[in-house]
A = this chain, B = another copy of it.
């Protein structure tokens, strides 16, 4: 079980100098959102994963289990009305960190966010984000994928 320490940013525009490379299309559907606990199915190509997230804020705990396609197909209808679609690009930064750039589609079309995961809280605090990561969203539940899926983009 992994402990996640990450920071998240709003990206109003990706500079054309940023090389995106090829992304992977992800669909996430939420089976349950219950206080600090989220249970989701993430599908990418023919790979699907069940994830339980607990805790809140900068540091969360995450449990992952692979699903067969048949299992994912059977669970998927229970996520109706609580889904996000996005293309994820992985950008290596000069700092050595990996920035995950999520370009949303469907109902969230136009939204772009960036996430960086860190080994510990010190590394997270020391991180100097690219200047196109304009607004920090870390710990703001309204910008979590779970609430974006349910409520849409915050106004």
Report which A residues bind B (CB closer than 8 A). 1, 31-34, 36-39, 50, 52, 54-55, 61, 63, 65, 67, 70-71, 74-75, 78
Contact = CB atoms under 8 A, between A and B. Distances in A.
A54 B39 CA distance: 12
Most B CB within 10 A of own CB, among A33, A36, A39? A39
Contacts of A37: 31-32, 39, 78
A145 to B, nearest CB: 16
A1 B32 contact: no
A31 B50 contact: no
Contacts of A33: 32, 34
Contacts of A52: 31, 39, 50, 75
Contacts of A36: 78
Given A31-B54, A52-B75, 5 more contacts: A31-B39, A32-B38, A37-B39, A39-B52, A65-B65
Nearest to A33: B34
Contacts of A78: 36-37, 54-55
Nearest to A77: B54
A13 B75 CA distance: 38
A38 B34 CA distance: 10
Contact of A1 (B34, B38, B55, B70): B70
A82 B92 CA distance: 42
6 contacts: A1-B71, A31-B37, A32-B33, A33-B34, A34-B34, A55-B78
